[in-house]
Amino acid sequence: KQILDFKPYTPGLTLEDIREEYGVERVIKLASNENPLGVSPVVQKVLGQKAAEVFRYPQNHSPRLAAALAERLGVEPDMVVVGNGSDEIIDMLYRVVAEPGRDNVVCYEHSFSMYRMCAKLCGVEYREIPREHGLGLPMEHLARAADEHTALVFLTSPDNPTGLAATADEIAKLSRALPEGALLVVDGAYAEFAEPQDIYEAAPRLAELDNLVLLRTFSKAYGLAGMRLGYGIMPAWLASYLRRARIPFTVNLPAEAAGLAALEDEVFLSETLRVVCEGRDYLGRELAALGCEVTPSQANFLMFRPPSDATVFFEGMLRRGIIVRHLKSFGLPDHIRVNMGTESENRAFVSACRELL
Ligand code: PMP
């Protein structure tokens, strides 16, 4: 009965869905915040080589990747947990620290659906507090909603779907204001796209704040969404709990190799950041000129409110072979989220906007 009542995760529409339904040849997908440049050529080469090794099990817990990440981040390897996407780290956190029927988790409305979904699946109360006026991050109110049974407090920064980011001071203040035992999970899935970068440096943050968990992913800036690779940086005691409780081998052998290669390919990362930042400025300007209310973004997407009906806008885009995200699924039926594509995809999106608005 509980499973029948459960609302599963709804992924964005796929290229195949749109090709079939609308009969369009060229489909442009700007709905799932994927990398506009595709997969790094360095990673592709490594993946080809790894094909011959997949008869072997991977090393459990991806120790080589955890060590490489730790070195870059300036933390100990036992503070890094590599997962099947950061989704898996979120799931593990719930299963390890939140006690069903007793504990609660705090987040705010219009946020990433996994936090709510895991709460439901784990039988944990989910406290969803209102956002600030203008859909801002309700930093002050998060701490007030937490109590002695709060296991996790989620903050997405840069935030999905608004693109707004918290400051280092705000995060530190929130961490210190939480009751004893509550962990602050800062989901930085889009951290690479933010300015300034220093607030995402793990080592000083974790040294200063002992209840902090940072989540990162290879799905966005590193172009590996389909490999399913993410990681959490957290106090060593917590990381050891996660490693103890996890299902073996959830990160497969090619995924670990792809992650290691992606970290080395700095050219691909910097080109990604250039294309995304230029695209963000361009789309922000054009959408505002067309009368859209655009939220300033630190991520690889923009949230906006079109001057006319968002459902009509969304469907008009689909008919033109462009998939964006209608934020109805986030409880924001008047808003649209679009991620930055290549220059030519961005131009195609803007010309479709001009026709529709
Ligand atoms: N957190 C946020 C805020 C996200 O938007 C996403 C991707 N949709 C994730 C986590 C999950 O990322 P991953 O692909 O690493 O599981």
Mean pLDDT of 194-207: 82
Tokens found for residue 14: 């796929």
CA distance 292 to 308: 9
Return the number of other C-beta atoms located less than 10 Å from residue 343's C-beta.
13
Q: What is the pLDDT of residues 234-261, one digit of tens each?
A: 999 999 999 999 999 999 999 999 999 9
Q: What is the pTM of this model?
A: 0.96
Tokens found for residue 10: 């709804």
Mean pLDDT of 112-116: 96
- Index of the ligand 1 atom closest to the CA of residue 84: 16
CATH class of 52-264: alpha beta
Domain ranges of the chain: 2-40+267-356, 52-264
Which residue's CA is the nearest one to ligand 1's atom 16?
Answer: 85
What's the CA-to-centroid distance between 87 and ligand 1, angstroms?
6
What does the pLDDT read at residue 332? 97
- Residue 28: which residues within 8 A CB-CB, separation 6 or more? 321, 322, 323, 341, 345, 348, 349
Q: What is the pLDDT of residues 134-180, one digit of tens each?
A: 899 999 999 999 999 999 999 999 999 999 999 999 999 999 999 99
Beta bridge partners of 108: 129
Give the long-range contacts of residues 272-279, CB within 8 A, separation 24 or more: 272/35, 272/36, 272/37, 272/221, 272/223, 273/192, 273/193, 273/221, 275/36, 275/37, 275/340, 275/342, 275/343, 276/36, 276/193, 276/300, 276/340, 277/193, 278/343, 279/36, 279/340, 279/341, 279/343, 279/346
Tokens found for residue 20: 């079939």
ipTM associated with this complex? 0.99
What's the CA-to-centroid distance between 112 and ligand 1, angstroms?
8
What's the CA-to-centroid distance between 176 and ligand 1, angstroms?
26
Q: Tell me, using a 6 A CB cutoff, whether residue 85 lines ligand 1.
A: yes
DSSP per-residue string spanning 114-136: HHHHHHHHHT-EEEEEPPPGGG-
CATH topology (fold) of 2-40+267-356: Aspartate Aminotransferase, domain 1 (3.90.1150)
